[in-house]
Structure 1
């Protein structure tokens, strides 16, 4: 920020050096007007700062509160000028901290470090909060390598500076910076500065290190390592993590550290990278630390209907009252372990125990992990129950897709189609517009879950065929109204809805809508062609609706021109001539 004195001084310097500087073109009227506007803006800011300082009365608390209000409005220049002027005769370290934090949050790392250096030059001594802000900002920087170098430089200067010795929060902050950059060498160098005093490691220290170890193999995969080398890297990570965990358990048993859910889950997710034995040991880890019962072991011996087995009688260590409470992170880890070890049958018991006994309110990640486990176990009934319990804020098309895929793979279950109907009704009730791919999967359930229908009466194959036809007709009937709503809503009705028109959609969305129409046509052809219904009214309705769907598909295909570069094979491509408002037949 240039003051009037600075502007005048700059003019004198330019005048004194005019003899040696190359002649400049004369300033235009526009340039002079811009300089005048800038000068007036500077004068306005200076006047406001002068008035504010009169009322703040050199009170550090009032100054820092005012600086914070100015920064909330985005007036950084005014806040900086006020802090610089107030620093002449008042100690306002907190105000400087606000400026540094503002620059860090706006991803201006260089500017923040310059403010830190200027702060020291103006004899405004940084406090512990200053360094916490710097390390936190470096950890969130989009320039991780630069952030590591700056954080290490400042941290090392704190080590040799007797005025402010770094504490565990500063050490953890630097570890976060190294973790964000994937710099394990620097991380372990920082870990060597731990002590039994102010830098005594806590649960968050170990959590950061374990998370960094877990992420390191994924970052090395970008180097195109061969599978053997990648496996060796994973084994190295597991070995390091297990050594660190032994230290954690030793400190916990001796009462030197309090563990939390984040630390336990960080170790558990590293074990998920190992072999089957490591994956299996996750549940044992959760049992020994978070006191989560082992339903996979007690499943055979538990009393029927008992979903709350007793906890282990023994208690390792002196931490009976320091056991952390399991939460969403632990629930997701349990589901991951069950999925990896294929112990999917006990997933509902763990889910019920977490939600009822521990009082965990599942989040979106919990629902997804739970449905994935049930999908792997082909438990269509439990999937239908889980989907219908998902909160509205967490519902998404891929959840319905996973659910319908589970019903497809649960083909030996004669109730799979009933479960799919339950999911479909829930989707239609919750979704403003049905998901086309989910509707296709629902129709596929109706066409594939038919084994029990054909085996219903071996002496009368005709009865089985009629039962299959009835099931397909029921699915088509469920789909007809939602599909009609989908098509009529996506139809381009005017300029007020330019993005709702079918031709305004993305290519894959267009193809999905047409694909479901084709699947419905194919299903209708199966029923009518093989005479899988004896109700003539039903057959006539299917033929009428097939005609409408066929016109819809034909109209879409007509908008696809032949590719000029491959006329021989008649390759079809989407039109690129801007026809986005072509008329489309509405479904009555």
Structure 2
């Protein structure tokens, strides 16, 4: 057979060629092909890959693992089947290939198997899963739950995993875990669906969340062994409300029944809040609608809310529902978006559900008060329902089915709602009575929002006296520049009241005593109060201001009194521009945090440009006020006062010129010059007064 020598040579060559790889098999790996040992390290269990990467190239295939007793049993117990592939591990890197991945899984499984040997009870397994998720080791928690699912019921552990993914805004991963949970014969419980529905409400993709939540809810209604209850229905309603999908919301609401899914106060609160947000969306959306069409859409939602409220009242009167402040506030907020009649019906709503008296009507009858737990509350009113469960509320309602219904307790939301309605209906004269009744009689502690709404209501009613009383009694931590600006604006609007300037002086003194630097705009508004409050001077009876030289002289004295109050605070405010901010913990005007020290004078100037412009505008208004008294009408000031204020005017004018040269070294912009002319600051008149003031030999400028 082997007669040909060529054939023998070819056979000999093939035989020798197979020996070449054996000679090269002992060559070590190059340094560039060795992967770091920390490539596959997880956050929870530390895996050492040094042994996985020590195998030489060509000795065994890459997928080969030594068949030791422990490794063989681990591979048999941990198989990467279709269920394991539903959700991959988080801490595995793509570098290193299948060898590193298998090594990571084996090490992780060995550690998890050891933990399962110590904790065999499902309760302790759930605790260990929860702790692993708290420290961010999702791989360890997932593998432990998968291994424990083979012979135990660990639905709580699966709930922890699903909740972890939903809190991290991973809706798809949570749904995959839910499906894998069912594949592993772990039956989802009521808590599982509650976690999924509440997690859908936090999703960044609301339309996808609505589709997933409604799909699961319909599955529970039609095919699921576990039927949804009131908690599940409320959670799905919350998902639809956050997405603004009213059609899906009312579809879910139609599944209400009198037993398992009986509606509670939270159910109707979600629906009413969704309608209110839809009203605001219609008002703010740029759909090209005219005002009539917008109002028509708003009235449509208001009518739907009134129909829902009819069901609420029927359930409440039949002792099937207990209303609370949140539910009443939700209905009231929708009505405030309507017309005058809708706003006025809010007061009727509060009287119906909270026994809140109508102080806007004569002959008000206050409800009988009783003391319960140290609080003054009307009869048949529950002090606090926030800590009660739904079952406890139903039992409480059934216990009082034969007596009068339980009324809701007013709080901070009710106080803000009442004041808003009074502002919309222009019944601001009743605001102090409501405020006194709720804060003093019912012991409602007002918060920052209540103070702000009350101040806005009083300002809308031009009640400068009540505004001054409120500002001087507010907590110092709630005072801001906006507070004083609104207070001075209320005094300007109350110019028919001869005591308006006195009230403004109270507010100004409180501002200078409670703040480090006064607000520049508030100072200008205070000066405007002195200049605008003039009607009582013009309509004065003959001889009423004879002691001070007549009405004009009294008006001039009022303007100079305002300027005299402003002089020292203005010097303190202008002096704040001299010293740079050096500490980030320091505070400036109205508690505003300072910035770190500037790196150059130019940066410091740019940082303080806005404050300097405000102070500059205040100085110009002060100059205009001085000119109004000592130049335009000689009867408004005597000779002694005229000399004093001329010298002070020079000081202000020089400060203005110094700030202008600093702010605009290349010349003042055109719009800035126009602003100066609009404020009555004539440049030619300034030069004339400088010449006159230079001749003054008496008078103290400070």
Q: Could you say whether these structures have the same fold, taking a TM-score greater than 0.5 normalized by the shorter chain as the test?
A: yes
Provide Cα deviations, 1:7-66, integer angstroms capped at 9, x if missing partner. Answer: 9999659xxxxxxxxxxxxxxxxxx99759x98996899389538725851333333334
For residues 552 and 49 of structure 1, the distance between their equivalents in structure 2, rounded to whole angstroms, comes to: 76
> CA shift at 1:158, angstroms?
1.6
Q: What residue in structure 2 maps to residue 151 of structure 1?
A: 213
Is 2:262 aligned against 1:178? no
Q: Rg: which structure is higher?
A: 2
CA contact (8 A) 1:524 1:546 kept: no
> CA shift at 1:185, angstroms?
0.5
CA contact (8 A) 1:53 1:86 kept: no
Q: What residue in structure 2 maps to residue 513 of structure 1?
A: 615
CA RMSD, aligned part only?
4.0
For residues 118 and 558 of structure 2, the distance between their equivalents in structure 1, rounded to whole angstroms, comes to: 79
Q: Is the alpha carbon distance of 1:569 and 1:154 closer, same or farther for their aligned partners in structure 2, counting shifts above 3 Å?
A: same
Provide Cα deviations, 1:282-328, integer angstroms capped at 9, x if missing partner. Answer: 11111111100111113xx36xxxx9577999999966351111111
Q: What residue in structure 2 maps to residue 523 of structure 1?
A: 625
CA contact (8 A) 1:261 1:330 kept: yes
Q: What residue in structure 2 maps to residue 242 of structure 1?
A: 306
Residue correspondence of structure 1 range 242-391 to structure 2 within 5 A: 242-298=306-362, 301=363, 308=366, 320=404, 322-391=406-475
CA contact (8 A) 2:265 2:322 kept: yes
Q: Is the alpha carbon distance of 1:285 and 1:155 closer, same or farther for their aligned partners in structure 2, counting shifts above 3 Å?
A: same
Q: Is the alpha carbon distance of 1:569 and 1:452 closer, same or farther for their aligned partners in structure 2, counting shifts above 3 Å?
A: closer
Provide Cα deviations, 1:223-272, integer angstroms capped at 9, x if missing partner. Answer: 23222222221221122122111111111111111111111222222222
Counterpart selection for 1:132 from 194, 202, 205: 194
CA contact (8 A) 2:241 2:274 kept: yes
Q: Is the alpha carbon distance of 1:555 and 1:40 closer, same or farther for their aligned partners in structure 2, counting shifts above 3 Å?
A: farther
Is 2:511 aligned against 1:424? no
Q: Secondary structure at the match of 1:479?
A: helix
Q: Secondary structure at the match of 2:576?
A: helix
Q: Is the alpha carbon distance of 1:551 and 1:80 closer, same or farther for their aligned partners in structure 2, counting shifts above 3 Å?
A: farther
Is 2:113 aligned against 1:113? no
Is 2:463 aligned against 1:401? no
CA contact (8 A) 2:116 2:144 kept: no
For residues 444 and 211 of structure 2, the distance between their equivalents in structure 1, rounded to whole angstroms, comes to: 41
Q: What residue in structure 2 maps to residue 472 of structure 1?
A: 559
Bigger mean CA deviation after superposition, 428-437 or 126-135:
428-437
For residues 568 and 280 of structure 1, the distance between their equivalents in structure 2, rounded to whole angstroms, comes to: 47
> When the two structures are superposed, what TM-score results if normalisation uses the length of structure 2?
0.69
> CA shift at 1:97, angstroms?
2.4
Provide Cα deviations, 1:382-412, integer angstroms capped at 9, x if missing partner. Answer: 1112222333343332222221111110001
Bigger mean CA deviation after superposition, 492-501 or 360-369:
492-501
Q: Is the alpha carbon distance of 1:246 and 1:321 closer, same or farther for their aligned partners in structure 2, counting shifts above 3 Å?
A: closer
CA contact (8 A) 2:282 2:298 kept: no
Bigger mean CA deviation after superposition, 393-402 or 490-499:
490-499
Q: Secondary structure at the match of 1:295?
A: coil
Q: Is the alpha carbon distance of 1:521 and 1:59 closer, same or farther for their aligned partners in structure 2, counting shifts above 3 Å?
A: farther
For residues 119 and 10 of structure 1, the distance between their equivalents in structure 2, rounded to whole angstroms, comes to: 35
Is 2:293 aligned against 1:191? no
Counterpart selection for 1:543 from 645, 649, 660: 649
Is 2:556 aligned against 1:485? no
Counterpart selection for 1:213 from 258, 264, 275: 275
Q: Secondary structure at the match of 2:473?
A: coil
> CA shift at 1:85, angstroms?
4.2
> CA shift at 1:172, angstroms?
0.8
Q: What residue in structure 1 maps to residue 690 of structure 2?
A: none
> When the two structures are superposed, what TM-score results if normalisation uses the length of structure 1?
0.81
Unaligned runs of at least 5 residues, structure 1: 14-31, 573-587
Provide Cα deviations, 1:115-150, integer angstroms capped at 9, x if missing partner. Answer: 333333333332222222222222232321121111
CA contact (8 A) 1:171 1:199 kept: yes
> CA shift at 1:524, angstroms?
3.0
Bigger mean CA deviation after superposition, 535-544 or 307-316:
307-316
CA contact (8 A) 2:540 2:551 kept: yes
For residues 107 and 623 of structure 2, the distance between their equivalents in structure 1, rounded to whole angstroms, comes to: 71
Residue correspondence of structure 1 range 431-470 to structure 2 within 5 A: 431-456=515-540, 458=542, 462-470=549-557
For residues 266 and 494 of structure 1, the distance between their equivalents in structure 2, rounded to whole angstroms, comes to: 46
Bigger mean CA deviation after superposition, 141-150 or 281-290:
141-150
Q: What residue in structure 1 maps to residue 72 of structure 2?
A: none
Q: What residue in structure 2 maps to residue 18 of structure 1?
A: none
Q: Is the alpha carbon distance of 1:238 and 1:33 closer, same or farther for their aligned partners in structure 2, counting shifts above 3 Å?
A: closer
For residues 557 and 293 of structure 1, the distance between their equivalents in structure 2, rounded to whole angstroms, comes to: 58
For residues 318 and 620 of structure 2, the distance between their equivalents in structure 1, rounded to whole angstroms, comes to: 68
Q: What residue in structure 1 maps to residue 130 of structure 2?
A: 68
Q: What residue in structure 2 maps to residue 581 of structure 1?
A: none
For residues 59 and 82 of structure 1, the distance between their equivalents in structure 2, rounded to whole angstroms, comes to: 13
CA contact (8 A) 1:562 1:571 kept: no
CA contact (8 A) 2:616 2:656 kept: no
Aligned length: 546
Q: Secondary structure at the match of 1:411?
A: coil
Q: Is the alpha carbon distance of 1:173 and 1:506 closer, same or farther for their aligned partners in structure 2, counting shifts above 3 Å?
A: farther
Q: Secondary structure at the match of 2:225?
A: coil
> CA shift at 1:86, angstroms?
4.1
Q: Secondary structure at the match of 1:210?
A: helix
Q: Is the alpha carbon distance of 1:79 and 1:518 closer, same or farther for their aligned partners in structure 2, counting shifts above 3 Å?
A: farther
CA contact (8 A) 1:498 1:504 kept: no
> CA shift at 1:555, angstroms?
2.8
Bigger mean CA deviation after superposition, 535-544 or 43-52:
43-52
CA contact (8 A) 2:380 2:406 kept: no
> CA shift at 1:372, angstroms?
1.5
Greater share of helix residues, 1 or 2?
Answer: 1
Q: Is the alpha carbon distance of 1:194 and 1:434 closer, same or farther for their aligned partners in structure 2, counting shifts above 3 Å?
A: same
> CA shift at 1:509, angstroms?
4.9
Q: Secondary structure at the match of 1:296?
A: coil
For residues 322 and 35 of structure 1, the distance between their equivalents in structure 2, rounded to whole angstroms, comes to: 68
CA contact (8 A) 1:521 1:549 kept: no
Q: Secondary structure at the match of 1:554?
A: helix
For residues 142 and 305 of structure 2, the distance between their equivalents in structure 1, rounded to whole angstroms, comes to: 46
